[in-house]
Structure 1
Amino acid sequence: MKFEKAEHISSKYQRLDDKDLVRFYRQNGDEMAFSELMNRHQSKIYSYIYSMVGSGDVADDIFQETFTKVITKMDDTYNEQGKWIAWVMRIAHNATIDYLRKQKRFVDVSSNYDEESGTDFYERLPDEDMVSAEEQLEKEEAKSSLMKHIADLPEEQRTVVMLRHYYEMPFKEIAELTDVSINTALGRMRYALINLRKLFEEEKEQEENKYAERR
């Protein structure tokens, strides 16, 4: 189960930024400061985990594992020079990938390198495909089918889509989090957007066929 939202957190803590809250918790063991950090970020962290594993029970377990590690490691491994939430997301991501690998469901797709041209598949895609896919994704974001289609993507593509569009994480941080180059992260994003566009087009075609059959 996710942590319950604390309704009694004072406005004092709500006005503080993450860095100050982390400092209060590390220096004074201030539980209210940690509760405010949880309130701010737990929903998106849990949603990311759930989008990767597709099971509420498993997501609950990984979420709890993540914050157990966060609590026990904040005094040892967290570097205050970086963003606290990026550090937490790295812990959540690693725990999620560990689970997927144990389930033998994780596949790290290669970049499909082309020796003749010296480029990989992502670099050879036309720029207009990237733009068109982004436009399609933006148009369809409000639809309930978006998460369903994201769930159909390979894990490495689903990861970058969730981190970029849902969590608004910069590609540099995505690359660091997933331990790949920025070009690879960008390539996965491009390929994911193209796949999403295809999925939406297939869905639209199916809906049109159903409508035609009813007429």
Structure 2
Amino acid sequence: MPRALRDLPDEDLMLAYAAGDAAAFDLLYTRHEAALYRFVRRLLGAPLAAQADEVFQDVWLRIVAARASFKPQGAAWRTWAFTIAHNACMDRLRVAGREVSVDGEDDGDEPLDWLMAKTGRVAPSSEDQAFWRAAGAQLLHCLEALPAAQRAAFLLHHEDGASVEDLAQRLALPFETAKSRLRYALKKLRGCMGRYLEALEPVQ
């Protein structure tokens, strides 16, 4: 792959792909595959985990289909792509009616890494490992318990860095509604994480 292509920002890669450069698309996919797949898995939740691969593929098909309509002067490519992923997931959740399906594979250490990153922690010592693994598992359980709309607001905020203003615009919601969804999601997660968050509080 030409070095010049690798140095391009996402927005320019999308424009190059829209103009017929398949290598530009390959680079976009490589850059964002993991983050978009994690987002899809989290938003669908365990009951629909078996459908995550299919929805993830649908997300990229939608990106391909919309390549000519992407405008770099609008949202950043990542914001645009995560909004497409959100819409694909919500479409599937509406169709499925939160039907129970076979659980997908365990995410291994990823919830642990994610939680530690959000709390500014470094790799735990061996004696702390069990605590952090349990906290990561509890975080996934807490996310599962959120209503889909609140889970989407939380994930867009924490996975993609969307502000409340961004959430309102991307989800076509009034500002106060977007703010409330995120606030309720955070309140429920804090309550659900309970003793794990208390254990992380600095000793006075």
TM-score under structure 2 length normalisation: 0.71
State, as a whole percentage, how many aligned pairs show the same letter. 30
Residue 7 of structure 2 corresponds to residue 15 of structure 1: yes
Residue 82 of structure 2 corresponds to residue 89 of structure 1: yes
Residue 164 of structure 2 corresponds to residue 171 of structure 1: yes
Write the mapping of 1:1-215 to structure 2, written as runs, cut at 5 A: 9-27=1-19, 29-54=20-45, 55-75=48-68, 77-82=69-74, 83-105=76-98, 138-139=118-119, 143-145=135-137, 146-201=139-194
Distance (whole Å) between structure 1 residues aligned to residue 2 and residue 167 of structure 2: 33
1:204 CA displacement: 7.9
| Cα separation, partners in 2 of 1:139 and 1:87, compared to 1, 3 Å | closer
| Cα separation, partners in 2 of 1:147 and 1:166, compared to 1, 3 Å | farther
Distance (whole Å) between structure 2 residues aligned to residue 15 and residue 68 of structure 1: 25
Distance (whole Å) between structure 1 residues aligned to residue 144 and residue 8 of structure 2: 35
Tell me the amino acid that sits aligned with residue 21 of structure 1: L
Higher Cα radius of gyration: 1
TM-score under structure 1 length normalisation: 0.68
Q: Where does structure 1 differ by over 3 angstroms across 4 or more consecutive aligned residues?
A: 137-143, 202-205
Structure 2 stretches of 5 or more lacking a match?
100-116, 122-131, 199-204
Q: What is the alpha-carbon root mean square deviation over aligned residues?
A: 2.7
1:85 CA displacement: 2.2
Structure 1 stretches of 5 or more lacking a match?
1-8, 107-136, 206-215
1:60 CA displacement: 0.8
Secondary structure of 1:195's aligned partner: helix
Distance (whole Å) between structure 2 residues aligned to residue 69 and residue 204 of structure 1: 39
Distance (whole Å) between structure 2 residues aligned to residue 167 and residue 95 of structure 1: 16
